[in-house]
Chains A and B, each alone.
Chain A
Amino acid sequence: MNAPSQECRAFLRVVESFIDGELDPAAIIEGEHHTASCASCRERVMLGRAMKASVSHLATSPMGDDARGRLRNALAAEIARTPSSPKRAPRVRMVVGSIVAASFAAAAAWLFAPRIGTPNASLAEAGNDDVLSELVAEHVRPLPLDGTDIQTVRSLEQYVGVPLRQHFPASRAKLVGARILPFQHERAAIVQYELGGTGPGAPRRISVLVFDPRRIHLAPASDIAQQLGRHEVRMTRAQGLPVAVMEDEGIGYALSGDVDEKQAMELVRYVASP
């Protein structure tokens, strides 16, 4: 067995930089010169390259189609929520919209401070009205759905952590589909429906946000609530639309749509389990 020569030792000190292409040209030429005449160092380089290739191969794992779809939806939602400046026209409109909504809310004393409340500080930064304004933004400008039939909608339960189902009898509202709505680390589902009827604005639509109230917390700042059977429904507004918030059997719901408060209240009755 031959001990490495002085030359080998010198080369082995920089062999990794040589393999990684981090040496300057003069050192590379030196290295190539040495490996051309030294089988041992040549093998060392080839083994190093083979291992690099193996690691690279191990780190090749394309996302599944489902995950990719969810990811794209989440990113598109974020883009829709915050269109680029300097041409911030759409954003300005949204800001004005929420000011109007905010003053309306104050005047109507439907004061509400929804927040995402968990011990995780990173979630708190999501801001006060993020959840409900995302719901309404999503309702006004729906993104592609993750599923349009009840089976696929149900399969989204695994991401939300609470059961999903059809919330209205077919005679009252038609299921359009659902998609996952990410809030930082948490996920909720938005289930969309169409109300029957004709005339201007038809078909009117309803969006129901379904979430795990232990993870996404919509905490009321006031005690204004309406009793609906054994449930307490809190009515608020976001960007001009009414939102009815309710918890039932450990599932959180927020319903919004092309309706007024009275109709929202009537519709949320269906959402509660009998």
Chain B
Amino acid sequence: MFFRSTRRTDDAFLDEAMSYADALHGVARRMCRNEALAEDLVQETLLKAIKSREQFAAGTNLRSWLFRILTNVWVSRYRRASLERATFDAPDVDPIADGWVSADTMRNLREPEELAVASLLRAELERALELLPEDFRMVVLLVDAQEFSYEEAAAALSVPTGTVMSRLHRGRKMLQKVLVEQGRALGLAKAEAMADSTPPANLEAFREKKLRGTK
């Protein structure tokens, strides 16, 4: 009897864990060089989850827990050398400007009239995502594809929320830069960039404001 109920709990856990396999794979596939590595990463993640399933507090967010395991496995095993990290996590002394582009250009980038152009831009974005430094890419994927909050992403990666925000900002800036450049090449954007720069708001002030707002 006990055995049966244990078995049922285990089976339910297996089913629920498997229901996140595609989501985990989507992120893994963008983080790993090839499909085999991505599958290994997903398998290792879920095996770890199964092995420590008794530590998982029922009723809490399984998806969030699984992604935390995935990012841990990835950081400890799959992430490449840390050279690029050291470079890109340096203080934001020269923030990539929120390059000013016209509303028309942005509209053209967002919904080009021609289908061929749309698919060109999509392909360009895909390439840009691939070229993003891994730490930036992971944050962009967690927040944009998995809709993690900044705090969830920070917990998953064991970094401060401010680091999540700055990686996200810079990662997106890089994607946008590639997109705007491509838009120019395709005649969708005019050479209208201006030098004004709007770095992200002071993070402390932001947190404080947010805190005040929620009280």
Interface string of B147-189 (1 = CB under 8 A from A): 1011000000000000001001100100110010000000000
Taking a contact as CB atoms under 8 Å apart, the answer to whether A24 and B201 are in contact is no
B129 on interface, CB distance cutoff 8 Å: yes
List residues 112-143 of chain B with CB under 8 A from any CB of chain A.
122, 125-126, 129, 140-141, 143
**A residues near B140, Cβ cutoff 8 Å:** 55
CA distance A112 to B192 in the complex (A): 74
Q: How many residues of A contact B (CB 8 A)?
A: 59
Asked if A163 CB lies within 8 Å of chain B CBs, one says no
Contact yes or no, B18 A50, CB < 8 A? no
Q: Which among B43, B129, B199 has the highest number of chain A CB atoms within 10 Å?
A: B43
Q: Which of chain A's residues has its CB closest to B50's CB?
A: A78
Beyond A56-B144, A84-B53, whether A79 also contacts B200 by CB under 8 A is: no
Q: Which of B10, B125, B201 contacts A51 (CB 8 A)?
A: B125
Question: Quick check: is A202 within 8 A (CB to CB) of the other chain?
Answer: no
CB of A222 within 8 A of chain B? no
Main secondary structure of the interface of A (DSSP, over half): helix
Residues on B facing A (Cβ under 8 Å): 2-3, 5-7, 9-11, 13-14, 17-18, 21-22, 25-27, 29-30, 39-40, 42-44, 46-47, 50-51, 53-54, 77, 98, 100, 102-103, 106-107, 109-111, 122, 125-126, 129, 140-141, 143-147, 149-150, 165, 168-169, 172, 175-176, 179, 192, 194, 196, 198-201, 206, 209-210, 212-214
Contact present for B51 and A78 (CB under 8 Å): yes
Interface majority SS (helix, strand, loop, mixed), chain B: helix
Please give, as numbers and ranges, the residues of chain A lying within 8 Å of B146 by CB-CB distance.
59
Q: What's the least CB distance linking A119 to chain B, in Å?
A: 14
Please tell me if the beta carbons of B3 and A90 are within 8 angstroms of each other in the complex: yes
The reply to whether B172 and A51 form a contact with Cβ atoms under 8 Å apart is yes
The number of A-B residue pairs with CB atoms under 8 Å apart is 173
- In Å, the complex CA distance between A15 and B210 comes to 14
Distance in Å from the Cβ of A196 to the closest Cβ of chain B? 33
How far, in Å, is B212 (CB) from chain A's closest CB? 8
- Measured CB to CB, the nearest residue on chain B to A41 is B103
Known: A13-B198, A47-B176, A89-B2. 6 other contacts (CB 8 A): A3-B194, A22-B210, A24-B210, A24-B213, A61-B25, A90-B6
Can you pick out 30 interface pairs between chain A and chain B where the beta carbons lie within 8 Å of each other? A1-B192, A1-B194, A4-B196, A13-B200, A15-B98, A17-B150, A40-B106, A42-B103, A50-B110, A51-B144, A55-B140, A56-B147, A58-B126, A59-B27, A59-B30, A59-B145, A60-B26, A63-B22, A71-B39, A71-B42, A72-B18, A75-B46, A79-B14, A79-B50, A83-B3, A84-B9, A85-B54, A90-B6, A184-B44, A185-B44
